[in-house]
A = this chain, B = another copy of it.
Amino acid sequence: MPSKPDSITMDAVYTAPGYLFRRMQQIAVAIFVEECRAFDLTPVQYAALVSIHTHPGIDATRLSAVIAFDRSTLGNVIERLESKAFIERKPGREDKRVKLLYLTKAGVATLREIMPSVENAQARMLQPLKAADRKVLLALMTQLVDLNNEASRVPLRAEDALEHLGKST
């Protein structure tokens, strides 16, 4: 309980949950990039690819809700994926504002090829822990992220993914 600055130590940083989350995120990205450096895909770009593969013809706004990425950020991500020829943007027929997203053949192929490396990376992040602890940590993180969903600037809305189908129902 350091309340006066005179009593501030580095523990005010090191033991803060926010610092641990930041640090672990940095480590997770470093591991992902290292395992996947052959594929020219970042973690964010990978998540976007998976989502577009799962929801072909989704638009950028819905995609941002499905992976909880900021809409502005996602615009740049989509641009890069398009310039790498992993995805295509096609104008919507009903709604002239939207641009529908689809994987290209190269995108599908890359996704198939990168999968084992991604799984290696995800495993490596938790490897230092005992198997039982890994499960506990994953369960608690899943719970915490879910319960804090609304505190996020861009809450996850997985259901939004279905809106681009059967809109006329």
Contact = CB atoms under 8 A, between A and B. Distances in A.
Interface of A: 2-5, 8-10, 12-32, 43, 47, 50-51, 53-54, 66-68, 108, 111-112, 115-116, 118, 121-122, 124-126, 128-129, 133, 136-138, 140-145, 147-148, 151-154, 156, 158, 161
Number of identical monomers bound together in the oligomeric complex: 2
Given A13-B51, A144-B126, A25 B21 contact: yes
Nearest to A103: B5
Contacts of A140: 129, 133, 136-137, 140
A140 to B, nearest CB: 5
A73 to B, nearest CB: 11
Contact of A8 (B28, B50, B125, B153): B50
Contacts of A116: 3
A153 B30 contact: yes
